[in-house]
């Protein structure tokens, strides 16, 4: 069982949902980024998602795009990303998931990347621009190395494709909760909760993690009530880094979000 799956299983046994917390590697620079990621862990994040900076992040809104620019200006490449992973892994057993567009993976080489993920302690890979029709080779390499490939479902994903995405995914299925790009939402629309219910009716044996537009404890409670197993919070946390918040303030923000996962109704999968 992967570290991600074990985490979801343990949380379910406690009646809790999961908080997946995202930051960009190397933001504002590789040295200071370590302190911010450590704050995510201390704040109680159940899974830490590490963004790999890329020059053309088509799924990301302005906040995460700006973080990527800062990281790239600080010369954040794969070596810096894996150095961060190694540091975090020596401190905690929290699952670590890399979110990278496919171009950096292609340049590095799928096999070499997966081998380094295994060596450093990466637990999962999210590749938002790699369609399920093209994921087989990466999936085969990753599964042999004990790394979960996590696919994304969107509001436009039909039922048959949902089944294919769920079959290709391990750890959890990433549900894009709204149209458009990532961003710090102020309200959570009914379309998001309807989407969760739709996906849940098709995907019964894999945790659902919902992202895009979640920033407040009330948002998390709403997606959990609709049937999600995890909430992914990114832009709201990245914005703290962009505004030069102290790591202690970020830790408090994560702690408040994590509190919303406790006491949520939890039904067994399957």
What DSSP state is assigned to residue 157?
-
Calculate what percentage of the chain has a pLDDT beyond 70.
93
Q: What is the set of active-site residues?
A: 49, 60
Q: How confident is the model over 104-146, as pLDDT tens digits?
A: 999 999 999 999 999 999 999 999 999 999 999 999 999 999 9
- How many Å apart are CA 209 and CA 127, to the nearest integer? 15
DSSP 97: E
Q: Is 260 exposed, middle or buried (0-12, 13-18, 19+ CB in 10 A)?
A: buried
Whole-angstrom distance, CA of residue 98 vs CA of residue 20: 12
Cα separation of 107 and 123, whole Å? 21
Residue 150 pLDDT grade (very low, low, confident, very high; cuts 50, 70, 90): very high
* Overall size of the chain counted in residues: 270
For residues 168 and 73, give the distance between their C-alpha atoms in angstroms, rounded to a whole number: 35
What torsion, rounded to 10 degrees, do the Cα atoms 261, 225, 131, 146 define?
40
**What DSSP designation does 132 have?**
G
Question: 104 near 52, Cβ under 8 Å?
Answer: yes
Dihedral-angle region of residue 205 (phi above 0 means left; psi in -120 to 50 means alpha; beta otherwise): alpha
Question: Which structural domains are found in the chain, ordered by start?
Answer: 3-259 (3.20.20.70)
Residue with tokens 């704040």: 43
Say what the pTM is. 0.93
Among 93-107, 179-193, 247-261, the least confident range: 179-193
Quote the percentage of the chain above a pLDDT of 90.
81
pLDDT tens column, 203-242 = 988 999 999 889 999 999 999 999 999 999 999 999 999 9
Q: What is the pLDDT of residue 268?
A: 40
Tell me which residue of 68, 27, 43 sits closest to 259, measured CA to CA.
43
Which pLDDT score, from 0 to 100, does residue 107 have? 97
Orientation of helix 235-242 relative to helix 247-259, angle to 10°: 160
């Amino acid at each position: 069982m992967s570290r991600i799956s074990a985490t979801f299983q343990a949380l379910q046994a406690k009646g809790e949902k999961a908080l997946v917390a995202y930051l960009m590697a190397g933001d504002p620079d590789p040295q200071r980024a370590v302190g911010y990621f450590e704050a995510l862990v201390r704040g109680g994040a159940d899974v830490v998602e590490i963004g790999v900076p890329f020059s053309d992040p088509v799924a990301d809104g302005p906040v995460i795009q700006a973080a990527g620019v800062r990281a790239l200006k600080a010369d954040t490449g794969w070596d810096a990303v894996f150095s961060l992973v190694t540091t975090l892994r020596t401190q905690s057993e929290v699952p670590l998931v890399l979110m990278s567009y496919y171009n950096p993976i292609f340049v590095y080489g799928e096999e070499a990347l997966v081998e380094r993920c295994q060596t450093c302690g990466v637990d999962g890979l999210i590749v938002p621009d790699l369609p399920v029709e093209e994921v087989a080779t990466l999936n085969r390499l990753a599964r042999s190395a004990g790394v979960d490939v996590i696919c994304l479902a969107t509001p436009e994903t039909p039922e048959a494709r949902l089944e294919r995405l769920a079959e290709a995914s391990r750890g959890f299925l990433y549900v894009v909760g709204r149209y458009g790009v990532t961003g710090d939402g102020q309200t959570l629309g009914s379309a998001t909760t309807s989407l969760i219910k739709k996906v849940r009716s098709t995907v019964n044996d894999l945790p659902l993690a919902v992202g895009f537009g979640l920033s407040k404890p009330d948002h998390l409670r709403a997606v959990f009530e609709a049937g999600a197993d995890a909430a992914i919070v990114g832009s709201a946390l990245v914005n703290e880094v962009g505004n030069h918040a102290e790591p202690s303030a970020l830790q408090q923000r994560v702690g408040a979000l994590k509190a919303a996962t406790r006491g949520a109704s939890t039904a067994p999968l399957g």
